[in-house]
Amino acid sequence: MAVFDTPQEAFGVLRPVCVQLTKVQTVENVERLQAQLQKVSAAALQQLQEYVLFPLRFTLKTPGPKRERLVQSVVECIRSILSETCVKKPDLLHELFSELCTCLSSPSGLKRPPAQSEEIKLAVIQALQALMHSAYGDILLSLYQPSTLPHLGFAVSLLLALAEQEKAKEIRTSALKCLQALLLQCDCQEYHRLLDKEEAQRCGDLFASFLPGISITLSRVITGDIKQSHMIAVSAIKLFYQTVGFIMADEQLRKIPEKKEKPGVEQSRIADLMVHRGPDWVQSTADKLSLLIHKIVESSSVHQHWKVRLELVELAHHLMLKSSQSLVASVGQLLKALVGLVNDDSPKVQSRSSEVLRSIAERKVITENRALADVLSENLHSLATALPRLMTSQDDQGKLSTLNILLGSLKLLGSKMNIVLNSTAHLHRLSKALMQVLELDVTDVKIVEERRQGELPASLQHGLQKGQAQKKYFRFFTDERIFPLLQQVCRVLGYYGNLYLLVDHFTGLYSESVAFRKQAALVLNELITGAAGLGVDVLHEREAAPSVDDLKGTITSILEEYTGQANWHLVTSMEEQEEPSDELAMPPSRLRALPESAHSSTLILSSAATSEPNPTIRSMNGNIWQICIQLEGVGCFTHALGKEFRVLLMSALYPVLEKAGDSTLLISQTATGTMVDICQACGYGSVQQLISENTDYLVNGISLSLRRVAHQPHASRVLETMLRHSDASLLPLVEDVIQDVLFTLDQSYDSRAASFLRVLHSLMAALARWFVLAKQSEQQQGAQTSPGATELPGAIPTAAATTTGQDVERFFLDYIKQKQIAEGDLPDTEEEEVFLPPAEEPQGNDTSAEGEAPLPAHAQVAKDVMERCIHLLSDKSLRVRLKVLDVLELGVTVLHPHNNHLLPMAHRAWPALVTRLINDDPLAVLRAFKVLCTLAEKCGDFLRQRFSKDVLPKLAGSLSSQAPVSARAGPVYSHTLAFKMQLAVLQGLGPLCEKLDMGEGDLNRVAGACLVYLSARQPVKLQEAARSVFLHLRRVDPDAPWLLLNGVCCPRQYPPPHASLRPVELSGMGRPRGELTDNVLHLLGELEQRERAMLWPRAQGAPEPRGPPPP
Amino acid sequence: MIAAMALPPPDPEFVLRGTAAPVHTLHFSCRGQEPEFPILFSGSANGLVQIWNLKTHRVDKTMDGHGGKSVYWVETIHGRDGLLSQGRDQKICLWDLAEGRNVVTDSISVDSVGFCRCSLLKVAQDRWLIAMPANDPDEVQVLELPSKTSVCTLKPEAGAKLGMPMCLKLWQPGFGACPFLMAGYEDGSVILWNLSMGKMLSRLACHQEPVMSLDFDSEKAKGVSGSSEKVLSVWSLDEQQNLKVHKTHELINSGISDVTIRQDRKILATAGWDYHIRIFGWKKVKPLAVLDYHTATVHCVAFSDHSRPSERLLAAGSNDQRISIWSLYNQT
In a domain, A222, yes or no: no
Cα separation, B205 vs B188, whole angstroms: 6
pLDDT value, residue B225 = 93
Which H or E element spans position B227?
strand B222-227
Query: Average of pLDDT values for B108-127?
Result: 86
The partner residues of A961 in beta bridges, in order of sequence, read none
Between B14, B55, B295, which is nearest A700 by CB?
B14
Q: Please, what is the angle between helix A118-134 and helix A169-182, to 10°?
A: 20
Burial call A410-437: b when 16+ CB within 10 Å, e when fewer: bbbbbebbeebbeeeebbebbbbbbbbb
pLDDT value, residue A1104 = 45
The answer to whether residue B154 scores a pLDDT higher than 80 is yes
In a domain, A1014, yes or no: yes
pLDDT value, residue B35 = 64
Query: Average of pLDDT values for A45-61?
Result: 80
List CB contacts (< 8 A) between B14 and chain A: 700, 704
pLDDT value, residue A849 = 42
Query: Average of pLDDT values for A452-469?
Result: 48
pLDDT value, residue A65 = 66
Q: Hey, are the CB atoms on A704 and B14 less than 8 Å from each other?
A: yes
pLDDT value, residue A112 = 53
Which of A987, A940, A761 lies closest to A840, judged by CA?
A940
Q: How far is A563 from chain B (nearest CA, A)?
A: 17
pLDDT value, residue A826 = 62
Radius of gyration of chain A (CA): 49
The answer to whether residue A583 scores a pLDDT higher than 50 is no
B17 close contact with A: CB closer than 8 A: yes
List CB contacts (< 8 A) between A700 and chain B: 14-15, 17, 57
Domains of chain B (ranges, CATH numbers): 23-109 (2.40.10.480), 114-250 (2.130.10.10)
pLDDT value, residue A615 = 47
pLDDT value, residue A586 = 36
Q: How far is B253 from chain A (nearest CA, A)?
A: 22
Strand, coil or helix: A631: helix
List CB contacts (< 8 A) between B17 and chain A: 696, 699-700, 736
pLDDT value, residue A263 = 52
pLDDT value, residue B49 = 92
- Of chain B, the percentage scoring pLDDT greater than 90 comes to 36
pLDDT band for B325, please (50, 70, 90 cuts).
Answer: very high
Between A697, A708, A743, which is nearest B57 by CB?
A697
Chain A residues with CB-CB distance to B under 8 A?
647, 650, 696-697, 699-700, 703-704, 707-708, 736, 743
Q: How far is B17 from chain A (nearest CA, A)?
A: 7
The answer to whether residue A1097 scores a pLDDT higher than 60 is no
Contact at 8 Å (CB) between B83 and B74?
Answer: yes
Distances, alpha carbon A9 to alpha carbons A2, A55, A78, B167, B187, in Å? 11, 19, 21, 132, 144
Query: Average of pLDDT values for B309-313?
Result: 85
B126 close contact with A: CB closer than 8 A: no
Which of B303, B287, B274 lies closest to B248, judged by CA?
B287
pLDDT band for A611, please (50, 70, 90 cuts).
Answer: very low
pLDDT value, residue A582 = 35
Q: Hey, are the CB atoms on B57 and A650 less than 8 Å from each other?
A: yes
Residue of A nearest to B15 (CA): A700
Residue of B nearest to A649 (CA): B56
Cα separation, B54 vs B40, whole angstroms: 7
Q: Give pLDDT tens digits for A150-199.
A: 888 888 888 888 888 888 888 888 888 888 888 777 776 666 667 777 77
In a domain, A701, yes or no: no
pLDDT value, residue B261 = 93
Residue of A nearest to B53 (CA): A647
Q: Hey, are the CB atoms on A700 and B293 less than 8 Å from each other?
A: no
pLDDT value, residue B218 = 87
Q: Can the peptide bond before residue A838 be classed as cis, meaning omega within 30 degrees of 0?
A: no
pLDDT value, residue A789 = 38
Q: How far is A712 from chain B (nearest CA, A)?
A: 14
Q: What is the DSSP letter of A191?
A: -
Q: Hey, are the CB atoms on A696 and B17 less than 8 Å from each other?
A: yes
Q: Kindly report the number of other CB atoms within 10 A of residue A741's CB atom.
A: 24
pLDDT band for B259, please (50, 70, 90 cuts).
Answer: very high
List CB contacts (< 8 A) between A703 and chain B: 15
pLDDT band for A453, please (50, 70, 90 cuts).
Answer: low
pLDDT band for A883, please (50, 70, 90 cuts).
Answer: confident
In a domain, A961, yes or no: yes
Q: Hey, are the CB atoms on B56 and A699 less than 8 Å from each other?
A: no
List CB contacts (< 8 A) between B55 and chain A: 647
pLDDT value, residue A506 = 92
Q: Give pLDDT tens digits for A1023-1056.
A: 888 888 888 888 887 777 788 887 777 777 777 7
Query: Average of pLDDT values for A819-835?
Result: 59
In a domain, A44, yes or no: no
Query: Average of pLDDT values for A639-668?
Result: 88
The answer, as to whether pTM is greater than 0.90, is no
pLDDT band for A459, please (50, 70, 90 cuts).
Answer: very low
pLDDT value, residue A10 = 81
Q: Can the peptide bond before residue B35 be classed as cis, meaning omega within 30 degrees of 0?
A: yes
Query: Average of pLDDT values for A587-594?
Result: 35
Number of domains in chain A: 1
pLDDT band for B3, please (50, 70, 90 cuts).
Answer: very low
Helix, strand, coil percentages (3-state) for chain B, rounded to 5, are 5, 55, 45
Q: Hey, are the CB atoms on B57 and A704 less than 8 Å from each other?
A: no
Residue B87: exposure state from Cβ atoms within 10 A (0-12, 13-18, ≥19) = buried
CB pairs under 8 A between A and B: 24
Q: Hey, are the CB atoms on A703 and B15 less than 8 Å from each other?
A: yes
pLDDT band for A803, please (50, 70, 90 cuts).
Answer: low
- Of chain A, the percentage scoring pLDDT greater than 70 comes to 83
The answer to whether residue A1095 scores a pLDDT higher than 70 is no
pLDDT value, residue A176 = 85
Between A647, A704, A708, which is nearest B12 by CB?
A704
Q: Hey, are the CB atoms on A700 and B295 less than 8 Å from each other?
A: no
pLDDT band for B34, please (50, 70, 90 cuts).
Answer: low
Residue of B nearest to A708 (CA): B11
Q: Hey, are the CB atoms on A707 and B58 less than 8 Å from each other?
A: no
Query: Domain limits at A1011?
Result: 942-1054+1066-1093
Q: Give pLDDT tens digits for A757-798.
A: 888 888 888 888 888 777 777 666 655 544 443 333 444 444
In a domain, A845, yes or no: no
Q: Kindly report the number of other CB atoms within 10 A of residue B18's CB atom.
A: 19
Between B55, B57, B295, which is nearest A696 by CB?
B57
Contact at 8 Å (CB) between A740 and A698?
Answer: no
List CB contacts (< 8 A) between A707 and chain B: 11, 293
- Strand arrangement, sheet containing B243-250: B211-217, B222-227, B231-237, B243-250
Query: Average of pLDDT values for A941-956?
Result: 81
Q: Give pLDDT tens digits for A251-285.
A: 777 777 766 665 555 556 666 667 778 888 888 88
The answer to whether residue A72 scores a pLDDT higher than 70 is yes
Q: Hey, are the CB atoms on B14 and A736 less than 8 Å from each other?
A: no
Which of A546, A468, A544, A459 lies closest to A502, judged by CA?
A546
pLDDT band for A847, please (50, 70, 90 cuts).
Answer: very low
Which B-chain residues 36-75 have CB contacts (< 8 A) with chain A? 55-58
In a domain, A988, yes or no: yes
The answer to whether residue A618 scores a pLDDT higher than 70 is yes
The answer to whether residue A79 scores a pLDDT higher than 80 is yes
Residue of B nearest to A696 (CA): B17
The answer to whether residue A464 scores a pLDDT higher than 50 is no
Whole-number mean pLDDT of chain B?
87
Q: Hey, are the CB atoms on B55 and A647 less than 8 Å from each other?
A: yes
State the SS3 of A901-958. Answer: HHHHHHHHHHHHHHHHHHCCCHHHHHHHHHHHHHHHHHHHHHHHHHHHHHHHHHHHHH
Whole-number mean pLDDT of chain A?
77
Q: Hey, are the CB atoms on A700 and B58 less than 8 Å from each other?
A: no
pLDDT value, residue A524 = 92
Strand B82-87 and strand B91-96: pairing? Answer: antiparallel
Residue of B nearest to A645 (CA): B56
In a domain, A194, yes or no: no
pLDDT value, residue B303 = 93
pLDDT value, residue A114 = 57
Task: Provide CB contacts within 8 A for A624, sequence distance 6+.
Answer: A447, A448, A572, A664, A666, A667
pLDDT value, residue A831 = 45
Cα separation, A286 vs A555, whole angstroms: 49
pLDDT value, residue A538 = 75
The answer to whether residue A651 scores a pLDDT higher than 70 is yes
Residue of B nearest to A644 (CA): B56
Query: Average of pLDDT values for A703-718?
Result: 82
